[in-house]
A = this chain, B = another copy of it.
Amino acid sequence: MDIDSIDRKIIDQLRMDGRRSFAVIGRNVGLSEASVRARYRRLSKAGIVQVVGMADAPKLGDIEVHVAIRVRGVTVASVAKQLVAIPEIKFVASAVGAYDLIVDLRCESVVHLSGILSERIRRVNGVHVVETLTVLEVMKDTYLWAGFREDSTPYTQQVIRRRTGAVAR
């Protein structure tokens, strides 16, 4: 699937603010609202972007754990497939490095966490080493920064535009 520079601009806008309207995004990237929506649908269906609400687990009283797993004897994909099915696991990716799989999970309590680790993850055939890091405090969790590309149209501009009714371009 091809992703052009306009697609990337749309993604950047959504990284900065997932609720920004397609009309505003269209103005910022120089496309009509309908086209932005069509592109978003395409990107969304392809699994390239998704707009989600992200919650700070510790602030909510939840427990977030980042797990690194080393696989032995079976394929990484077969282990991943079983982990994906566990609802508390929100992120699964294969990796190169000291471990083969990166898994993030979120749950209600240490009891719940313990159960998932010992009764679900460690029991998956092929899971050899499990390294667990429990999140204490999130210092930064942001997609606000658009990458190496410039944010030529900051959010404030959107607000000004609305207040004054002025229309650029």
Contacts and interface: CB of A to CB of B under 8 A. Distances in A.
Nearest to A107: B148
A37 to B, nearest CB: 11
A17 B65 CA distance: 23
A90 B11 contact: no
A63 to B, nearest CB: 11
B96 A134 contact: yes
Interface stretch (A41-49, A120-128, A155-163): A41-49
A1 to B, nearest CB: 8
Interface residues of A, number: 66
28 contacts: A11-B60, A14-B52, A14-B53, A18-B19, A48-B56, A49-B55, A51-B51, A51-B53, A52-B52, A64-B93, A66-B66, A68-B68, A68-B133, A81-B139, A89-B140, A90-B140, A91-B138, A92-B138, A92-B140, A92-B141, A93-B137, A93-B141, A95-B136, A96-B133, A97-B134, A102-B135, A107-B148, A108-B147
A129 to B, nearest CB: 11
